[in-house]
Chains A and B, each alone.
Chain A
């Protein structure tokens, strides 16, 4: 197990390097002048521009810039953004709220998605099955930003059931409920469909027939034997989806005015703030890879036949 984790962590290194280099190259190609508008109404003096470019290594060729950035990154120094604010402090604050949002979205996925999937799978072909199948298709086919704006209007403004926007970084969990549901909506639908498909397939397996023949109740046969086996692809999906959630947060955070990582990346792109964008995305990629490692380790818990030795 320990050996497996070490091997996986070593494999992550080239992936992180490659992914951050791609991001770095794209940010490097961002058009526009990062010093534009930094000096108020008048254009910046040549001395300021020269100093700014020197400080942020903007005069070096791309690989050298990347190397210098990486050197600092490994030492835990994420640099300062173009406004002189340490990126680390900014990211810590913003990852807290985006992380809360993403975790709540995953909770919605796991609870609503799996529950709906189980209900549909157990009563295959009945009303509840059709309801789940049709409503999940409905959700999948509507873009998330449309769902977000509509739910914000209906629940937040028209009926006033939930807060329509998230005012601050220290937002209450209650005000994040609606954004988290919107962020997770697509995945809730996918999780429900995936659970249903796998459950239906596994319910036909021999061991379920054996369990029934032994006289086990249906709820035990489903809950203990079948569900555990059916959850492996679902767990894989949720893990792989984590990165997508952090990316999709850009849209959700924009709709609900959340000052999280998505908004940070978006603002960084628009103000040509390379360091901020690269650092935010690098952390995101690392988190994503770690979550996937965790998922692979979970396989062993769900299915004892899978071992990591």
Chain B
């Protein structure tokens, strides 16, 4: 169905007339011309590079606190200035990308996987399985993300001195996944329900395809797009949630370097030294913005109605 639709939308597309293009190929064509898509991709690439290889951007040691130069305004030596501990804000901001990007990307992936599997099971099998799975989804949906996150992080607190970095970050990812997957599951369930009655699924079933095969090669490719788009948009929300938990003092905690930690430290001195707040917030907002814009652009590209 999608193939025929894609062809009928652009019946005379130059030299590849007659060649059936998939919805994904069509989406890619319109994405390629979208300026916002390229801006967000560039920003995301920069942030991922920062997360993977921070020394590419700065040679300053982010853990070196120069007590003689606290709360310096931006200057030649420290282009973003220094914070309350005399740390170079530019270096801290670059190194801080890692926590936010890991939390954002990992949480989006895990919620997509958990929510996706749950949604497919509920939507595809239906009946009592759907009833049970949907109620479980409702249970987790009824607990607000931030509230559940606060309770969970408070129940299993970090010991900042001894807990390894990856465990601390992993715990934030786990928390946000536990309370973040239901929205994806609901979305996935409804898109599976839309795809399931289609003729090609009936045909596959009539030909004797196993449920697993039907899901893998028919349901999944046609029902996944909305979930991926929402996951991308949610990614920004997860970055903000991590920062909020850190603001409350229970997400990432010093000595871990993150934008959330930097922002909550800076808020204390916002009246006198606003520049300490500006740079980490700016980077955080740019990262959130980049993922939201990417999600928007991809959604528009996949949505035939908007063409």
Contact = CB atoms under 8 A, between A and B. Distances in A.
Interface string B56-92: 0000000000000000000000000000000000000
Interface centre among A141, A145, A153 (most CB of B within 10 A): A141
Interface string A243-261: 1101110110010000000
A174 to B, nearest CB: 23
A18 B138 CA distance: 9
Contact of A143 (B139, B284, B292): B284
Nearest to B250: A269
5 contacts: A16-B142, A137-B293, A142-B285, A251-B247, A269-B151
Contacts of A201: 305
A304 interface: no
Interface stretch (B117-125, B192-200, B213-221, B236-244): B236-244
Interface stretch (A19-27, A81-89, A113-121, A217-225): A19-27
Interface in A123-145: 137-138, 140-145
Contact of A289 (B142, B146, B240, B277): B142
Contacts of B277: 146
A243 to B, nearest CB: 5
A244 B145 contact: yes
* Chain B binding surface SS class: helix
B131 to A, nearest CB: 10
Nearest to B143: A19
Given A153-B270, A250-B248, A251-B247, A31 B157 contact: yes
Interface string A273-290: 000010001001100110
Name the interface size band of chain B.
35 or more
Contact of A247 (B139, B147, B247, B288): B147
Interface size class of A (residues with CB under 8 A): 35 or more
B263 interface: yes
Interface string B141-161: 011111110111011110000
Given A143-B247, A201-B305, A277-B151, A15 B144 contact: no
B135 interface: yes
A11 B134 CA distance: 11
Contacts of A27: 151, 155
A62 B2 CA distance: 52
A14 interface: yes
A23 B136 CA distance: 14
B271 interface: yes
A18 B289 contact: no
Given A141-B236, A143-B240, A143-B247, 14 more contacts: A11-B138, A16-B142, A31-B156, A31-B157, A141-B286, A141-B288, A143-B244, A145-B247, A150-B270, A247-B147, A251-B146, A265-B150, A266-B248, A270-B154
